[in-house]
Amino acid sequence: METLYRTQADSLTDRIVDALATQGWVVVDDVFTPAEVQALREACLARWDGGDFRAAAVGKGGGEAVRSEIRSDSVLWLNEADDAPAITRYFDTMDALRVAVNRGLYLGLADLEAHFAVYPAGSFYKKHLDRFRDDDARTLTSVFYLNEGWPAGAGGELRLYLDADCRQSVDIRPQAGTMVLFLSDRFWHEVLPARRQRLSLTGWFRRHGGVMTW
Ligand SMILES: O=C(O)CCC(=O)C(=O)O
Ligand SMILES: [Fe+2]
């Protein structure tokens, strides 16, 4: 009988948890409402126009460097105390998702780091894994797209490789409202060259590595 009382939000998190448990990745399109997507898109564009973005780097700490032959997007890191309600709402919703995923999968996700990314026409991100060699905190990747009506010929798909040998893959169009979630240490992926400006909001759920903090 319990299922009768389930809300739509519950069934969304059930779908996500089930897919992550069985295949390690999932594509969903109902985490945010169309109005929330639109507000995030406007916040992203306002900051892009304001010149707040920086060329994205690869690597971490001492090894961090801008390598435009590997990735040619620009990013703006976000924090939950942002002035824009759309952004604080993003962090609230993602936190609810974090709690639900922890409950279902015991991943021990502790926090989220997130940035807007803008890929100007012609940009790409070559095949990579999201987990850093020297830091295994990134556990679950979420990529959320903010592009109204992305035509089939516009490139810019996320190519997600489904096996370690990269023999099988799926291409996901970066349409507004689409969210892709995948385990950060398992799935190689790349962004195919985009033929028009491509906007996204990428988040990594991290667990606390090494020393326990309680
Ligand atoms: O935007 C995407 O589809 C993926 C971006 C990505 O792989 C990354 O920022 O690590
Ligand atoms: Fe990535």
pLDDT digits (tens, 9 = 90+) for 41-91: 999 999 999 999 999 888 877 778 888 889 989 999 999 999 999 999 999
Alpha-carbon distance of 166 to 164, in angstroms, equals 5
- Model ipTM over 0.85: yes
Pinpoint the alpha helices (H) of the chain.
8-22, 34-49, 85-105
Across the range 31-41, mean pLDDT stands at: 98
What's the mean per-residue pLDDT of the chain? 92
Q: How far is CA 24 from the centre of its chain?
A: 14
Q: What was the pLDDT predicted at 156?
A: 98
Q: Which band of pLDDT confidence, cut at 50, 70 and 90, is reported for residue 135?
A: confident
Q: Specify if 212 maps to a domain.
A: no
CA of 129 to the centre of ligand 2 (A): 6
Query: Residue 81 carries which DSSP code?
Result: T
Q: Based on the structure, what is the number of domains in the chain? A: 1
Nearest CA to 147 out of 137, 157, 160 is that of 157
Question: Is the pLDDT assigned to residue 213 strictly greater than 60?
Answer: no
CB 78 within 8 A of CB 43: no
Q: Supply the angle between the helices 85-105 and 8-22 in degrees, to the nearest 10.
A: 60
DSSP bridge pairs for 144: 179, 201
Query: What is the number of the ligand 1 atom nearest to the C-alpha of 174?
Result: 3
Q: What was the pLDDT predicted at 65?
A: 86
CA of 87 to the centre of ligand 2 (A): 21
Alpha-carbon distance of 116 to 200, in angstroms, equals 6
Question: Is the pLDDT assigned to residue 2 strictly greater than 80?
Answer: no
Q: Specify if 10 maps to a domain.
A: yes
Q: What was the pLDDT predicted at 60?
A: 79
Q: Which residue out of 54, 77, 116, 141 has the highest number of ligand 1 atoms within 8 Å of its CB and is therefore the one to mutate?
A: 141
Q: Specify if 214 maps to a domain.
A: no
Q: Is 200 in the pocket of ligand 1 (CB under 6 A)?
A: yes
Q: Specify if 169 maps to a domain.
A: yes
Q: Is 13 in the pocket of ligand 1 (CB under 6 A)?
A: no
Q: Specify if 96 maps to a domain.
A: yes
CATH of the domain at 79: 2.60.120.620
Q: Specify if 9 maps to a domain.
A: yes
CA of 15 to the centre of ligand 1 (A): 22
Q: What was the pLDDT predicted at 69?
A: 87
Q: Specify if 196 maps to a domain.
A: yes
Question: Is the pLDDT assigned to residue 172 strictly greater than 60?
Answer: yes
Q: Which band of pLDDT confidence, cut at 50, 70 and 90, is reported for residue 21?
A: very high
Q: Is 189 in the pocket of ligand 1 (CB under 6 A)?
A: yes
Q: Is 41 in the pocket of ligand 1 (CB under 6 A)?
A: no
What end-to-end distance do the CA atoms of the chain give, in Å?
38
Percent of the chain with pLDDT over 70: 92
Give the closest ligand to the alpha carbon of residue 128.
2
Q: Supply the angle between the helices 85-105 and 34-49 in degrees, to the nearest 10.
A: 120
Q: Whose CA is nearest to atom 3 of ligand 1?
A: 158
Residue with the larger pLDDT of the pair 192 and 208: 192
Q: Specify if 133 maps to a domain.
A: yes
Question: What's the burial of 110, exposed, middle or buried (CB within 10 Å: 0-12/13-18/19+)?
Answer: middle
Q: What was the pLDDT predicted at 212?
A: 46
CB 204 within 8 A of CB 97: no
All residues with CB under 5 Å from ion ligand 2: 130
Q: What was the pLDDT predicted at 184?
A: 95
Domain that holds residue 164: 2-206
